[in-house]
Structure 1
Amino acid sequence: MDRRIGESGTTLMPGNAGATSTSTATARRDAEGAAPYDFDVEWWVPEGSAVTPTTVAVHTGSIAAVRKPGAAAVYALVTSRSTATTITYDPNVCPALMGDPVDARRSIEKLVALADVVKVSDEDLAWLVPDADPVEVARDWVALGPAIVIVPLGGARAVAVTAAREMRVAAPRRHVVETVGAGDSFRGELIGGLWDVQLPGAICRDTLRSSASSTIRHMLERCVEVAAIALARPVANPPCRRDLGQTTSLTPTDSSIPDKPRSG
């Protein structure tokens, strides 16, 4: 979590000049385009890190939210602003750094309960909750408190789960060249999409929970389109907004899957 998004723009959190080494992540791409990582990370929250009263959205996830000692400070920071800002969270698990999945899940679900919007991949859930249906886990997480839990399902498909309904979309098929950066691209478009429809901020929380399915579906379609473009690029190179629309000439898929109302 290295940024805060405020009404006046995006502000970098304070940097850290006191680490004894530079944190690194080494990706080695396999024949299918997947990239297992090796990490060497030193992590804590720099002194002076804070969320200002004008901040309307806070995002966190991955190593920062789980790895000690910084994780405790991240949790405290999110807790301090959870009633006043929109919280978005992406567990983005790193098994090599998160230890036992049972312990990691406890930490992750504490943040899920504080979040308004959660994005979690099916691969993340396969590690956290082996053999479970990712959509069923998403339903359980919605019950913890988020307005929306979104699960990318591989390739360029995704499902959004709310208390009222489930929406599934898929982008046109593209050949997968590189998986690195696709999840980050998806998440960036999700946060940008919330901003486009003016949903960040505590005063918008009720509106977010009652958002029309068409609004959520549109955001989800944009997210999978962005991920599809990223997957088709030979290097980790997230697309810009001007790149959207390039998938329209490709083979259509099940992007018109109807919404599924939830019962119970």
Structure 2
Amino acid sequence: MILCSGEALIDMIPEETVSGGSGYVPHCGGAVFNTAIGLGRLGADVALFTGVSRDGFGQQLEQALQDSQVNTDHLVRSDLLTTLAVVQLKDGHATYSFYDENSAGQALRPADLPALNDQVSTLYFGGISLVNGPAADTYAAFATAEAGKRLIMVDPNIRPGLANDEASYRSRLDQVIAAADIIKLSDEDLDWLIPGDQPPAEKMQSLMAKGPMLALLTKGAEGAEAFHRNGTHASAASEKVTVVDTVGAGDTFNSGALAKMQALGLLDRAALEQADAVQLAQVLGFAAKVAGVTVSRAGANPPWQSEL
């Protein structure tokens, strides 16, 4: 099983109302939630660990997980409110304002960490759940405690404007990256983590020196690249589609990458250490295909296996 650990929230996405004005429609979202949904729809064995409210939005999130075949046994329920992300769209690209203080997601503490059995082979972390507060420290401690015991993938999905303390945020990311076997970044994430004019390949090597053996880099319309600590490199083109919006694109890429790695038997440390360029190209190509479906329609709406 792949256990996705991180935020589940409601994206308030603008839509035109029947009167012609602008309104907001609640859609299930959150980077880690989206990745779990994507994995479930691709037929992977997946569960989500997060804090979920008992309010109406929390019930909406839990129903969405069940509808997409995501195991909900590791949800931590409370009466606190659901995190909201108000989305602004410009030319199909999304920016976000988050309302997260005193939320169900922020309530997670080390005592809430699940006891894992041998069925859980892989942990996935990322998103805004690593940015602020005690919950972020809880996820980081979880990654550190499980490092070396299970395969760990992280996508920081950097949100610098959300960080209350950038130094703490960077330190926490360093902690999680050191625990990770796989890291996935956008080109913008990479430049924030490692500022400067060095080529992306050099920056990716610097990140792998901190711990990960595999680094995936997405470059929007320019496709994606994979860099392995053993020197292997692979690339794949992006899918040629009409982009409606980019909400959930990177998260869906992650679900495609994890699902393909699971299918290829790469979610095992020994197998991943020996991964070759053909396998990595297959991972990137499938992830790009899955993400291409998501950006071709509104919101974070990952495809089902049957749609591929």
Compute the TM-score of the two structures, normalised by the length of structure 2. 0.70
User: Which structure: greater strand fraction?
Assistant: 2
Counterpart of 2:114?
50
Task: For residue 87 of structure 1, report the CA deviation from its aligned partner.
Answer: 0.5
Whichever residue aligns with residue 185 of structure 2, its letter is: V
Whichever residue aligns with residue 254 of structure 2, its letter is: R
Counterpart of 1:16?
77
Matches of 1:212 and 1:8, distance apart in 2: 25
Following superposition of structure 1 onto structure 2, how do residues 106-121 of structure 1 map, counting pairs within 5 Å?
A: 106-121=171-186
Whichever residue aligns with residue 203 of structure 2, its letter is: V
Counterpart of 2:216?
150
Is 1:161 matched with 2:222?
A: no
Task: For residue 125 of structure 1, report the CA deviation from its aligned partner.
Answer: 2.2
Gap change, CA 1:243 and 1:155, over 3 Å in 2: farther
SS for the counterpart of 1:222 is: helix
Matches of 2:75 and 2:292, distance apart in 1: 33
Gap change, CA 1:187 and 1:156, over 3 Å in 2: farther
Counterpart of 1:27?
87
Following superposition of structure 1 onto structure 2, how do residues 195-210 of structure 1 map, counting pairs within 5 Å?
A: 195-200=262-267, 204-210=268-274
Counterpart of 1:69?
134
SS for the counterpart of 2:137 is: helix
2:125 and 2:155 in contact (8 A); partners too? yes
Q: 1:83 aligns with which of 128, 148, 160?
A: 148
Counterpart of 1:188?
255
Following superposition of structure 1 onto structure 2, how do residues 90-105 of structure 1 map, counting pairs within 5 Å?
A: 90-99=155-164, 101=166, 103-105=168-170
Q: Unaligned 5+ residue runs, structure 2?
A: 7-32, 48-70
Task: For residue 24 of structure 1, report the CA deviation from its aligned partner.
Answer: 0.6
Report percent identity of matched pairs. Answer: 27
Deviations 1:35-59 (A, max 9, x none): 1100011313254322413221111
Deviations 1:211-254 (A, max 9, x none): 1211111011101111222222233321222222xxxxxxxxxx
Task: For residue 156 of structure 1, report the CA deviation from its aligned partner.
Answer: 6.0
Task: For residue 92 of structure 1, report the CA deviation from its aligned partner.
Answer: 0.8
Compute the TM-score of the two structures, normalised by the length of structure 1. 0.81
SS for the counterpart of 1:174 is: coil
Q: 2:275 aligns with which of 211, 231, 234?
A: 211
SS for the counterpart of 2:246 is: coil
SS for the counterpart of 1:127 is: helix
Q: 2:95 aligns with which of 33, 36, 58?
A: 36
Q: Unaligned 5+ residue runs, structure 1?
A: 245-264
Gap change, CA 1:194 and 1:228, over 3 Å in 2: same
Task: For residue 81 of structure 1, report the CA deviation from its aligned partner.
Answer: 1.4
Deviations 1:109-162 (A, max 9, x none): 221111111111112223333444433321111111212110110126101111
Aligned residues: 238
1:64 and 1:71 in contact (8 A); partners too? yes
1:118 and 1:150 in contact (8 A); partners too? yes
